[in-house]
Amino acid sequence: MSDLKLIAFDAEDLSIIAAHLQDAVLRIEDMAYLKGERRFAIVANRFDWSHAARPANRHDHFVRRRTGVRIERVTGAQVQGLDLTKKDQVLSLLTLTFEAGEAPQGTIMLTFAGGGAVRLSVECIEAALTDLGAAWATPRKPEHAGE
């Protein structure tokens, strides 16, 4: 499978990126708010849900991919429930959402398992997800309540 590359310019686009990032794992040190560049970036190991959905792959093996995500036009960042000094702490991304403000401004929220979150104030939605080439098999598929 070729590397995934997605761009988001509205809430619907962002929800597609969010779906691909569900259950991605990363460390605190894999996130950065580049204030001078007005950019927030993460590098994560995303679970490849499209690969897992294929009938031939449902019980055989699953795949994780190294992925970069950037969010542009960020005017502010706030952290809740995360200790930024614990650089090696592993986080599991639950979802990425957009809350509209005065158009086209709003807030992009990254919500992590365990209650942590990053809240980004943005001028508008401009985000991208790019697989970085590295992929590997994993025997485990993330499980959610009710599955």
SS (H, E, C) the chain: CCCCEEEECCHHHHHHHHHHHCCCEEEHHHEEEEHHHCEEEEEEEEECHHHHHCHHHCCCCEEEEEEEEEEECEEEEEEECCCCCCCCCEEEEEEEEEEECCCCCEEEEEEECCCCEEEEEECCCCEEEEEEEEEEEECCCCCCCCC
Evaluate if residue 147 carries a pLDDT over 70.
no
pLDDT at 69: 98
Q: What percent of the chain has pLDDT over 90?
A: 78
Give residue 7's identity as a one-letter amino acid code: I
Round to whole Å and give the CA distance between 141 and 50: 12
Round to whole Å and give the CA distance between 111 and 79: 10
Please tell me the least confidently modeled range out of 38-52, 58-72, 94-108.
58-72
pLDDT at 12: 97
Query: What mean pLDDT is reported for the chain?
Result: 92
**Left if phi > 0, otherwise alpha if psi is -120 to 50, otherwise beta: which for 141?**
beta
pLDDT band at 128 (very low <50, low <70, confident <90, very high): very high
pLDDT at 66: 97
Tens of pLDDT, residues 30-63: 999 999 999 999 999 999 988 787 766 555 689 9
Q: Terminus-to-terminus CA distance in the chain, angstroms?
A: 27
Evaluate if residue 145 carries a pLDDT over 70.
no
